[in-house]
Amino acid sequence: MSDLPPAIVLGVDSPIGLTVVRELGEQHVPVHAVGSPRAIGRASRYCREFTERPRTPIGDWIADLIKASGARALLAVSESDLIQLAALPAVLEGCAILTPRTEPLGVVLDKAETLRRAAAVGIDTPPTWQPLAEDDFAARANSLSYPAVAKWADPPSVLPLIERAGLDFVKAEFLQDADAVLAMTRRYVPLGQWPLVQSYCPGVGIGQMIFMDRGEAVLHFQHRRLREWPPEGGTSTCCVAEPLDRHAGQMQRSMALLGSIGWQGPAMVEYRYDARTEKYWLMEINGRFWGSLPLAWHCRAHFAWESYRRAVLGDERPAQPPLAGRRARYVVPDTRRLLRVLFAPRAIADPTFQVRRGRELLAYAGGFLTSRERYYVGSLRDPGPLCRDVLSMARKALRLGD
CA distances from 241 to 223, 226, 301, 333 (A): 4, 10, 10, 20
Fold of 127-199: Dna Ligase; domain 1 (3.30.1490)
Taking residues 248-270, what's their average pLDDT?
98
Query: Which residues contact residue 216 at a Cβ distance below 8 angstroms, ignoring those fewer than 6 apart?
Result: none
Highest mean pLDDT out of 156-165, 342-351, 360-369: 360-369
pLDDT at 400: 66
Residue 402: pLDDT over 80? no
Taking residues 262-284, what's their average pLDDT?
96
**Residue of 289, 286, 326 lying closest to 304 (CA atoms):** 289
Fold of 7-102: Rossmann fold (3.40.50)
pLDDT tens profile 139-179: 999 999 899 999 998 888 899 999 999 999 988 899 999 99
Q: DSSP states of 235-280 as a string? A: EEEEEEEPPTTTTHHHHHHHHHHHHHHT--EEEEEEEEEETTTTEE
pLDDT at 395: 86
Assign 350 a pLDDT band (cuts: 50, 70, 90): confident
Residue 61: φ, ψ to 5°? -135, -10
- Whether pTM > 0.85 for this model: the answer is yes
pLDDT at 396: 81
Beta carbons of 213 and 285 less than 8 angstroms apart: no
CA distances from 388 to 43, 121, 377, 393, 394 (A): 7, 45, 10, 9, 10
pLDDT at 171: 84
Beta carbons of 225 and 347 less than 8 angstroms apart: no
Beta carbons of 86 and 244 less than 8 angstroms apart: no
pLDDT tens profile 25-70: 999 999 999 999 999 999 999 999 999 999 999 999 999 999 999 9
pLDDT tens profile 291-337: 999 999 999 999 999 999 999 999 999 999 999 999 999 999 999 99
Quick one: CA dihedral 312, 317, 318, 322, positive or negative?
negative
Taking residues 206-230, what's their average pLDDT?
97
Where along the chain do its domains lie? Answer: 7-102, 127-199, 204-375
What Rg value do the Cα atoms of the chain yield, rounded?
Answer: 21
Considering only the top CATH level, what class is 204-375?
A: alpha beta
**Angle, helix 102-109 to helix 155-164, in steps of 10 degrees:** 70
Query: Which residues contact residue 384 at a Cβ distance below 8 angstroms, ignoring those fewer than 6 apart?
Result: 43, 44, 45
As a whole number, the mean pLDDT across the chain is 95
